[in-house]
Structure 1
Amino acid sequence: MARTEFFNDPNAPRANSIVVAATAFIVDGDDRVLLLQRSDNGLWAPPGGAQDFGEYIADAAVRETREETGIDVQITGLVGIYTNPHHVMAYSNGEVRQQFAICFRAVPISGALRTSPESPRVRWVRQDELDSLDIHPSIRLRIDHGYANLPEPYIG
């Protein structure tokens, strides 16, 4: 299903749904963030997706990361909650979804990178490489917030 994103666009279609979504900001030991290229719009983003019935929201971030990238993660905190009513996604089935996403901080614990039908490309990306990728502004905000709030390394 194709998806078109509208961000602060006065001509955007009016939203007709809100779906709770979880994303994961995952940084490895080399300070690289895990990103995937989405099959529905071609843009780069952290793994994430809709919460299922009967599922904790943090578990949705863990599940989506595993499904889309092959990496198992542990949630360690919260990056932010993103609810901009001026960011909508129009799908080819007629749904126009208003953004509502919770972005979790996570660390990789096992697994190996792999692609999926939703993510034809998956890779670890250095912070200085982000500008070379096609990333939606609302997603880039989450990534920037994730890097801005990284905990200081513990040396003991």
Structure 2
Amino acid sequence: MAGRTEYYDDPDAPEPNSLVVAASAVVTDDAGRILLQRRRDNGLWALPGGGMDMGDSLPGTAVREVKEETGLDVEITGLVGTYTDPRHVIAYSDGEVRRQFNVCFTARVTGGRPALSDESTELRFVAPGDLDALPMHHTQRLRLGHYLEGRERPYLG
């Protein structure tokens, strides 16, 4: 698996060479805890998500990525927001330097069993009060913060 380095508002960040449409999901359990995975490529905690395939819808991408990365079946229940900040750049060790257009949804578990994928080293449902203690890129914290604010309207950024 390729290594990954995230940059934000960094003048030393490499120039992007691809634009990827992606979806992520805030999946919660009945206790209000949030499903996170510890990424194998950078060791940071993150929401499940990934790039859209040509045959996918964005909500379908979120459902597929959650299943692939966590083993859980989910249904989309809402929209946290859109995240398209050009200052966020992701560089991979294979040479791809990505600008990502991410749409973050809310979702609930409908089935499946928690299972690690080759993209993660750990899965955990985390109580909102415990999020600050986890190492996480600030763009993930931004999405989680918008979710936890219980916004009336989705974040558009």
TM-score range with shorter-chain normalisation?
over 0.9
Paired letter, 2:8 = F
Q: Is 1:102 matched up with 2:103? A: yes
* Equivalence for 1:154: none
> Match of 2:141?
140
Amino acid at match of 2:149: A
Q: Secondary structure at the match of 2:132?
A: helix
Are 1:44 and 1:134, in contact at CA under 8 Å, matched by a contact in 2?
yes
Unaligned runs of 5+ in 2: 153-157
Do structure 1's residue 115 and structure 2's residue 116 form an aligned pair? yes
* CA distance in 2 between partners of 1:97 and 1:104 (Å): 21
Match of 2:88 in 1: 87
Map of 2:4 onto structure 1 = 3
Q: Over aligned residue pairs, what C-alpha RMSD do you find?
A: 1.1
Unaligned runs of 5+ in 1: 152-156
Structure 1 Cα separation of the partners of residues 30 and 145 of structure 2? 18
Task: Kindly indicate whether the alpha-carbon contact (under 8 Å) linking 1:113 and 1:123 is maintained by their aligned counterparts in 2.
Answer: no
Counterpart check, 1:44 vs 2:45: yes
The equivalent of 2:59 in structure 1 is 58
TM-score by length of 1: 0.93
Aligned AA for 1:44? Answer: W
What per-residue deviation string (whole Å, max 9, x for no partner) do you get for residues 9-38 of structure 1? 111111111100100011111010000001
Task: Decide which structure has greater strand share.
Answer: 2
Shift of residue 46, structure 1, vs aligned partner: 0.8
Partner Cα distance (2:98, 2:76) in 1: 26
Instruction: Look up the match of 1:27.
Output: 28
Partner of 1:77: 78
Structure 2: which amino acid aligns with 1:6? Answer: Y
Structure 1 residue 132: Cα displacement: 1.0
- Distance in 1 of aligned mates of 2:69 and 2:100: 20
Aligned to 2:155: none
Determine the C-alpha separation between the residues in 1 that align with 2:21 and 2:54: 11
Q: Deviations over 1:43-98 (max 9, x none)?
A: 10110000011111111100110111111100011100000100000111111101
